[in-house]
Structure 1
Amino acid sequence: MNNDIFIDEYGFDHARSEVLGQGGQGVVFRTDDPDLAIKLVTDAYGEPLTDPVQIQRYQRRFQWVRLLPLPDGVNISMPIALLKNKAGYVMPLLGEMEPFEYFWPYTAALQGISDDAIPHWMAAMQPADAKKLVHYQRTGGLRRRLNALLQSASLLARLHGYGLVYGDISPGNMFISRGAAAAGDAVWLIDADNLRFDRPSCGSAIYTPRYGAPELVNQRDGGRPASDCHAFAVVAFYLLSTVHPFMGRQALGEDRDWSDTDDDARTSEDRALAGELPWVGDEEDDSNATDSGLPTVLVLTPALQTLFNDTFSAGRLAPWRRPAIWHWPQALAAAADITLECAGCSMNYYPETPYTKTCPYCQAPLPARLVLESWRWEGADAPLGEPDWRFCREITPGAEITLPRRVVDDFAVRTADDDALVFCFDGPRLTVKKIVGATMTLAAATDGAFHPVSAQLGIEYADAASGFWLFTEMTTPHLIRCVMQEAGQ
C-alpha cells in the first residue's frame, strides 16, 4: 500500500505532498489538490497513530468538532472528510499560504542571505545578527507582523466570544498569505480538532512545546481561554522581538542560579516553560533578562508592553489575571496604525519614540507622511482631550492610502479592518474618496466651515500641509484632524 496516498470517507484519493506545519499532536501536509490539506494525528515520537482503538476515538472527536457552532466567516480550516482507517482528516486550505514559522529566522532562511545583502548601516553588527534583521525586513517587517497578529487575535476573540477554546496556538497552526504585503494578508487557523467548549476537567492538555501555558505544562488544567491567551502572547512576543519571552540568560543556562540543585532533573529551560522563572521583560526581576533580539522600545507600544507584562508576570502562574483576548486586537491595531516605513532601509518603526527625528535603524530622516488624529464627537461643548485614535502613513509619489474603519469609527473586532476612506496623492491635489459601499456621512472643513461630501473631495496640497478636518458618522460621529507633513519634520 502506498503510504503517500490517503482515502477519505467518501472514497476520494489524496496524495500527500510537502509538510505545512506540525503542532502539539499532529502534522499537516499539502496534497495534490492546492485547495486541500491533510491532518494526521501523531504519537509522542511524531509517527502516525496505528492503534485501532485510538484511531476510532479520534474519528469520533473529529465528527464532534464538525458539529461545533462556529461564528460566520471565521477563518478556521475545519474537517470536511475523515480519513479511512487513519486518525486524520481532509481540510480546506487556501492556496499560496504558509505558516507563521515563515517569520522565524531559522538557519535555512538565514543561509539564503548572502553577506553582500547586508546593508552598510548594519556593518557594525555581527553577521548572524545582521542577517536576522534582513530576514525580519524581507518578511514584511514590524507592520506586517502587527497586522498578522491583529487578525489572529480577532479570530480568537470571536471564538472565545462563542465560548470556544482553540487549544493549540502555535506558529505551525497559524497561516498567512504568501508574500510580504502588509495589507491584504489573509490569516487562517488550521488544526481545528482541539476546538471545544470551555469547561472544567476537560481532559488531557494538548499544546505545542514552548507555547503551552504553565498550567498545561504542569498538568494542572486541560486548557481554557486563558491558556489560549498565554500561547498567543508567546507567539506575538516571539514574532515581534525575535526572542521567546521566557528564554533569557537564566533559562539558557548563562546565569545558573545558586539554588539550582542536581536533585532536579529538569533543565533551566524546562523550569522557565513551567513558569518558574520570570519572563525576559519582568519589571521587578531581571534575573532572566536577555540582550538578544530587537529592543522592546522599537517593537512594542506602551499598551502592548502592558499586555505582555500582565500576561507573563502577574498572569504567569495565575491564569485568571491574564488579559482576555479581547484586549489584544485594539492594541495591535493601534500599534500597526502608527508605524512608518523608512525610505532609506525599508524597516518599520514608531515615530513616537525617543527616536523622533530619524529612523532608529539607519538614521534616515522621517519620510513625508499623512498624520491623522481621531476623536469621538461628543458635542460642541465637550472638550476634545487626547485623541481616541492615531494613524500615520508614509507618502510616496502616486500613493493611495486606505483608512480602515477603526480610524473613523468606534473600534469593533468584526469591522475594524474594513476599508472606509482612500487618500490619493496622484495628481495636482489630494483627493479624499469614500469607499464604494461604505455607509458613511462625510463632511470636510478647510476654511473653518464643514461642507458635506457625497463621494470625493479635492484638497489643495497647501491646505493639506496646514491641516484640515473631516467629520464622519458610521456607528458614532467622529472628528478627524488631517495633516500632510513634509520629510524630515
Structure 2
Amino acid sequence: MGLTTEFLEKEQITQVETENSEIFELKDCIGEGGQGAVFKTQRKNLLVKLSISRDNSLNKIKSIYRRYNNLRCRRDFPAYLAKPLCEIAPIERNDHIIYGYVMELMEDMVSINSLFRKNNENPLEYINRMGGIRRMYTILRKTAEILDKIHSSGYCYGDLNPNNVFVSSDTNYNEIQLIDCDNLMIASEFEGMIYYPNYGAPEVVKGLSSNNAITDTWSFAVLAFYTLRQVFPFNGLLVTEANSLNLSQMEAKAKFAELPFIDDEQGDNNPPSTAYPIDTMETSELKELFKQTFEKKQSPRERPALFEWIEALQHGENSFVICASCGAHYLRHKANKQCPFCDNTSLKACVVIQAYVQHGNYVELCGKQTIITQNNSAIIEIPFKEYQMLKVEMSFNNTDHKIIVKQLTSEEIPTKWVIERITAKAKTAILPPEMPIRFSAQDGIDNYLIFPSYTFKIDNNEEELHEATGIIRFKYRGTNG
C-alpha cells in the first residue's frame, strides 16, 4: 500500500465528486507511485487518478487544473492518450488536499505490468500470456510511436512505466493506450524530476536534469528491456547474490545505473542471473541499441534516439519465422536454427504484409502487420483517395513462390512493383478489377506495391494540398527461413 491509498484508507474516503457534481466510487487500485494512485470506478471504462498535496495550497491545485484543461484541449496529441476528462473537486483533510481527475480507458485493456512474469513462473507461460515474442515487439513499437508523437508536440511524458502502458487483453489485438498523463508538460518548462523506481534515467535520479525527451527514451529502453528479458538492465549477480550487508548498497547502485550493464561484453562481473535468453528475445539490432543505451548511461546525447528504437522494432517484427511444428513465432539464427520452444528446425512458409501511407518524410502504418500462410488469404486496406480505402486480397502459393494480389474495385489500377528497397527501379503492374495477378517472390526479400499518389487537405484548408502515396510491403519467408 502506497502513501495515497494509505491516506485515503485512514481518512475513510471511498468516493470522490467531480467539479460537475458526478460521484465516482473508488474500487481497486490498479497502480500507484510517487505521483498518486489510479483507481477503477463503478463506471467500467472510467478511472480516477488521485494525488495528495501536503502544502495545503488551493492556488496550486487551481494551477494544476488549468494545466489539465490545456492537455484536454490539445488536438495534436496522439489519440491513444487517456487525457483528463474532468477534474475532481478538491478534498481538504488534516492539512492535506486530495485532488485529481477522471480519465477514460479503452475497452478490454490491461496494464503491461499485470502481464509480467510471476514468481518462479515458467518463461513460456509469460511469453504465451503476452501473445508471443513477436507481439511484444509490436506492443513496444506502438508504445514508442505514441511517445514519439508526444515529443513531436514539444512535450515529454515524464513517468513512463509498465503501470501506465495498457494493451489489449485479447492477444489477437494490439491496441496501446498510455494513461496517467497528468505529468505531460512542455519539455522546456518541466520543473523537478519525476520517475518510477528502476525506470528513471541516471541524470533524473541523481537530480542533475529535469525530465525531457531523452530521459523519456531511457525509460522506454528500460521498459523494452524488462518486457523482453524480465530483468532490469543492471540487476545482475552483483545484486542478486549480494549478502545482506551489501544488498541495499548494490540495489542503490543499480538504481543509479552505477553497476555494469548485465550484457556488457567488456566485463563479465555483473552477468544476468534470471534473464530470459538474449538470442531468443532480441534481434542483433536491438542488442546494439541496448548496448549503446546502458553502456553509455552517463552520456545522454550518445544514447539512441526514439526513432532508432521504432525502426529496430519494425525490422524485428519482420524477422520472425513460424515453426512448422508448434506454430510459434521465433527469431532464427545462423548458428542455431532450432525453434527455442520445441527444438524443431522446419518452418511454415508465410508472407508478412504491412500497408502504410507515405507523405513527404512521414510514414504512417495502416492497421497491424498481417501474416498469411499457405491456403490462407487476407484483405488489406490501403488509402487510395482522400476519402476512399482500397481493398486488396492477398494470398500465396508456396509451390511456385507466387504472391497472388487481387484488388476488389470496379476500375483498373496502375501500380509500381519494387523489389528489395523502395528506391529501386520499379516495374509497372496493372491491377485489373477482381482479377488475381501473380508476383514472384524471393525468400526474405522485401517487395513493395506502390499505388497512385493522391492529394488531401488538412483541416479543410483548400489552399494547401498535400500528396500521399499508399504502399503495401510484403516479404515471403520460405521453409529455409
TM-score under structure 1 length normalisation: 0.74
Alignment of 1:88-487 (within 5 A): 88-107=100-119, 128=120, 131-181=122-172, 184-199=173-188, 202-254=190-242, 266-314=248-296, 316-356=297-337, 358-371=338-351, 393=371, 395=373, 397-400=375-378, 422-424=393-395, 431-434=404-407, 441-443=414-416, 450-454=428-432, 458=436, 471-473=449-451, 483=476, 485=478, 487=479
Residue 339 of structure 1 and its aligned partner are, at CA, apart by 1.5
**Alignment deviations for residues 379-414 of structure 1 (CA, whole Å, 9 cap, x no partner):** xxxxxxxxxxxx994615435385999xxxxxxxxx
Q: Which has the higher contact order (CA 8 A, sep 6+)?
A: 1
Q: Take 1:15 and 1:27, find their aligned partners in 2: how far apart are those partners?
A: 14
Q: Take 1:173 and 1:192, find their aligned partners in 2: how far apart are those partners?
A: 9
Q: Does the 8 Å contact 1:370/1:392 carry over to 2?
A: no
3-state DSSP of counterpart to 1:17:
coil
Please point out which of 10, 19, 24 is paired with 1:14.
24
Q: Take 1:249 and 1:233, find their aligned partners in 2: how far apart are those partners?
A: 21
Q: Take 2:75 and 2:28, find their aligned partners in 1: how far apart are those partners?
A: 29
Letter in 2 for 1:305: K
With over 3 angstroms needed to count, the CA separation of the structure-2 counterparts of 1:284 and 1:179, relative to structure 1, is same
Residue 482 of structure 1 and its aligned partner are, at CA, apart by 5.4
- 1:60 — aligned with what? 63
Letter in 1 for 2:152: G
Q: How many residues matched?
A: 417
Q: Take 1:138 and 1:319, find their aligned partners in 2: how far apart are those partners?
A: 34
3-state DSSP of counterpart to 2:394:
strand
Residue 443 of structure 1 and its aligned partner are, at CA, apart by 4.9
Q: Take 1:148 and 1:419, find their aligned partners in 2: how far apart are those partners?
A: 26
| Greater shift in the superposed pair: 67-76 or 208-217 | 67-76
Letter in 1 for 2:259: L
**Alignment deviations for residues 400-441 of structure 1 (CA, whole Å, 9 cap, x no partner):** 385999xxxxxxxxxxxx9985523599996424588xxx85
Residue 103 of structure 1 and its aligned partner are, at CA, apart by 2.7
Q: Does the 8 Å contact 2:78/2:149 carry over to 1?
A: no
Asked whether 1:75 is paired with 2:92, we answer: no
Q: Does the 8 Å contact 2:161/2:219 carry over to 1?
A: yes
With over 3 angstroms needed to count, the CA separation of the structure-2 counterparts of 1:72 and 1:203, relative to structure 1, is closer
3-state DSSP of counterpart to 1:326:
helix
With over 3 angstroms needed to count, the CA separation of the structure-2 counterparts of 1:59 and 1:298, relative to structure 1, is farther
Q: Does the 8 Å contact 2:318/2:352 carry over to 1?
A: no
Residue 292 of structure 1 and its aligned partner are, at CA, apart by 2.2
Q: Take 2:210 and 2:131, find their aligned partners in 1: how far apart are those partners?
A: 35
Q: Does the 8 Å contact 1:248/1:280 carry over to 2?
A: yes
**Alignment deviations for residues 156-197 of structure 1 (CA, whole Å, 9 cap, x no partner):** 11111121110000000111111212xx42111111111111
Letter in 2 for 1:189: L
Q: Take 1:484 and 1:209, find their aligned partners in 2: how far apart are those partners?
A: 41
Q: Does the 8 Å contact 2:29/2:39 carry over to 1?
A: yes
Alignment RMSD (CA, Å): 3.9
With over 3 angstroms needed to count, the CA separation of the structure-2 counterparts of 1:8 and 1:472, relative to structure 1, is same
Give 5+ residue unaligned stretches, structure 1.
Answer: 42-48, 108-127, 257-261, 375-390, 406-417
3-state DSSP of counterpart to 2:237:
coil
Q: Identity over the aligned pairs, expressed in percent? A: 25
3-state DSSP of counterpart to 1:14:
strand
**Alignment deviations for residues 305-329 of structure 1 (CA, whole Å, 9 cap, x no partner):** 1211111111x11212221212211
Q: Does the 8 Å contact 2:394/2:404 carry over to 1?
A: yes
Residue 454 of structure 1 and its aligned partner are, at CA, apart by 4.2
3-state DSSP of counterpart to 1:307:
helix
Residue 276 of structure 1 and its aligned partner are, at CA, apart by 0.9
Name the structure with the higher strand share: 2
With over 3 angstroms needed to count, the CA separation of the structure-2 counterparts of 1:82 and 1:282, relative to structure 1, is same
Q: Does the 8 Å contact 2:405/2:438 carry over to 1?
A: no
Letter in 2 for 1:251: V
Q: Take 1:434 and 1:54, find their aligned partners in 2: how far apart are those partners?
A: 63
With over 3 angstroms needed to count, the CA separation of the structure-2 counterparts of 1:62 and 1:432, relative to structure 1, is farther
